[in-house]
Amino acid sequence: MSPLKKSAVLPPFDVNPNAVVVLEKRYFKRDPDSGAVENAEEMFRRVASAVASQESAYRKSPWKAQDLARAFYELMTSWKFLPNSPTLMNAGTGLGQLSACFVLPVGDSIEEIFDAVKHAAMIHKSGGGTGFSFSRLRPKDSRVGSTGGVASGPLSFLRIFNTATEQIKQGGTRRGANMGILRVDHPDIMDFIRAKEREGEFNNFNLSVALTEDFMRSVEKDEEYPLIAPHTGETAGSLNARETFEVLVQKAWESGDPGIVFLDRINRDNPTPEQGAIESTNPCGEQPLLPYEACNLGSVNLARFFQRDAEGGGSVDWEDLSRVIHLSVRFLDNVIDASCFPLPQITEKVRMNRKIGLGVMGWADLLFQLGVPYNSGEALALADKVMSFVQSEARAASKILAEERGAFPAYAQSVFAAREQGPFRNATTTTIAPTGTLSILAGCSSGIEPLFALCFSRNVMDGERLVEVNACFEQAMKDAGCHSKQLMDAVAAKGGIASLDYLPEHLRRIFVTAMDIEPEWHLRQQAVFQQHTDNAVSKTVNLPNSASVDDIRRIYCMAYEMGCKGVTVYRDGCKSSQVLYAGGSNPAAAAKEERTVRGRPDLVYGFTQKVRTGHGIMYVTINEVDGKPFEAFVTIGKSGRSTTAKAEAVGRLVSLALRSGIAVEEIVRQIKGISGEVQVFQPGKHGQVQSIPDGVAWVLENRYLKSKRPLHGENGLGAQHCPDCDEIMIFQEGCLICPACAYTRCG
């Protein structure tokens, strides 16, 4: 059955060290007892063979399946193109579900709502992510005619979806990811905007508000706008548009949620409007889809198309890029035929429209190679040229496939037929999708994002840290005679070189990182790529922690003016400060609320942990309320009065912090690692107990955080750590991802 036999001799290829770890952990076929049962070569053989085998169904194809399988194999192992993760994981396996993103409808009845919950569980189980619009649900307190009761509203049902997701591990490896969208004119919109005020709420959802152009015009004019009850179509009140927009901006400043999508703009690009309006996107926002649609995504690695000329300069190899685009479009169209979808409604819809999304990665690396600063007019001009080329070649490839295989079945009712374009094999051909995991495999920068850091250190084993450097940056430093271990250590500590005045200015201009770039340049790049992308662009506007609410407002307005279909902003470290604003939109009032010390109940239960310290045996008693730590008592036997007093003081202050609502992690972060004059090492147990407060920190961390990572250090309070490998996660392309092991919150 396999076009690529095991005996076939195929060209060797290199796998970078990070990719080895990621492939072993996330992509190889596994046996429940023995672990991975294939290597990288066997994985790519499996995928290439499964996808190429679909070619035999088309008599007009110029390819034989065996030859195409070899071409697909070389396409992927040259790291010039990679399909989305489900294709790499599942092609040629019993599961056979090869799509990453789906959109499901949520209707305004109990039956429809719980059908959507069930269908989402089936998709998550197969390895996909789901998007939902909750805009059809009647607002809370509305009358329910069939029962005479009152509706609980979209947020109550969104909570059910979130809880269901907690119980389903995506593809057997991790929880699924969701997008939840609500129209800005829904009567419950203010509750939705504030849904993530408390950290941990709706943790399996990205949230976005669907903004209309009428609403944005009302914001500009500072006017009231109507709220529409979806179950009746009638006006159910009004809000001031500018005030609503300000709350939206404030919440995005506080936590990064919700994002925004421009619904009218998305539907202007809907290629099949007769099938209905687009209501939602996939979890990272780059793929607007009709209900029950899915999309097969893949990315071309632009860094692999740099060619150096005789004079030492460089350019883009347009001829090879064209070849790869055409082969990639054929690959993605075959994926549709090879995929086993989890629902018959999805199978029908996908094969009716045959949407694919070819995107790019390695953009920052290509700019490095060409010596072009990311935040420059030259970069924008090149982005325009590159993505225009990708889109035109992808459409040309889709036309060729239509001649061989026929147009997508709904073509006659599409906008292309009305405009006398085509015929095309695919309703859409281009998407700029997240490539966090794929870019680790390919050894390139992610999507169209700037590099997050030029150099960073990674945990390897036994506490050792390995410094990793971007290859383009390291080579440029060597060419300039600047390379040294001291420089690499300095860059690892800072992440970039913008502040290193002793380096040549032109190098500091070229090798910029996400935090070096003004927000408007992030947005300009997104807008240029969007102009030549059928679907949408996954991109995060990264901001320093010091960014203001005004900065967020300006970004949102610019995104609207520049023609983006949506935007995600993330202020560095904003999650850690979110508790300060949990009481509402007034930071001062919320902070005051959080400082209230809770009273002590008459009866509490807890535990006592014995810890050996340099001052003797310490007993740490933690009492709990509602399963959470509430107070601490710290005593040391056979020690002097001074030591006893210090222990009691630590316990009292920890108790005060706990009863004031301060998170255990923040308490541990403050007191762990405090060094005393007498330290004790306990092999195989606590490790080094450096002092009384350090011992208390160990008890809290071991009991409540279930993590052995260091909570103090140079990374600051805003760092979020990977639950798999404990490295610091970064927020880009609309999602938290781990650059070390490729864990992602977004599926």
The DSSP bridge pattern shows strands 259-262 and 205-211 to be parallel
Whole-angstrom Cα distance, residue 544 to residue 720?
A: 15
SS3 category, 673: coil
Residues 6+ apart with CB under 8 A from 134: 106, 154, 157, 158, 180, 181, 182, 186, 192
Helices (H) and strands (E) in the chain, counts: 25, 31
Residue pointed to by tokens 């005060």:
656
Environment class of residue 159 by beta-carbon count within 10 Å: exposed (0-12), middle (13-18) or buried (19+)? Answer: middle
d(CA 467, CA 462): 15
Question: 101, 284, 472, 564: which is the annotated catalytic residue?
Answer: 284
How far apart are the C-alpha atoms of 248 and 258, rounded to whole Å? 7
Residue 123 CB contacts under 8 Å (≥ 6 apart), including other chains: 102, 104, 129, 130, 176, 342, 343
Q: Which two tokens stand for residue 486?
A: 């001291």
Q: Torsions phi, psi of 402, nearest 5?
A: -65, -35
Evaluate the omega torsion of the peptide bond into residue 258 and state whether it is cis, within 30 degrees of 0.
yes
290 vs 346: CA distance, rounded Å: 10
Instruction: In whole angstroms, give the CA distance from residue 242 to residue 228.
Output: 18
Instruction: Report the alpha-carbon distance of residue 407 to residue 425 in Å, rounded.
Output: 4
Question: Residue 608 in contact with residue 695, Cβ under 8 Å?
Answer: no
Give 233-265 as a 3 state SS string: CEEEEEEEHHHHHHHHHHHHHHHCCCEEEEHHH
Catalytic residue among 254, 286, 727, 733, which?
286
State the DSSP string of 177-198: -EEEEEETTSTTHHHHHTTTSS
> Catalytic one among 204, 206, 282, 296?
282
Inter-helix orientation angle 471-479/363-370, to 10°:
10
User: Is there a catalytic annotation at residue 284?
Assistant: yes
For the chain, the distance separating the N- and C-terminal CA atoms, rounded to the nearest angstrom, is: 31
Alpha-carbon dihedral angle through residues 636, 640, 644, 650, given to the nearest 10 degrees: -100
Which of 485, 566, 555 is CA-nearest to residue 517?
555
CB contact set of 13 (below 8 Å; sequence gap of 6+): 40, 41, 77, 78, 79
Asked if 564 is an active-site residue, the reply is: no
Residue with tokens 């500009």: 220
Active site residues: 282, 284, 286
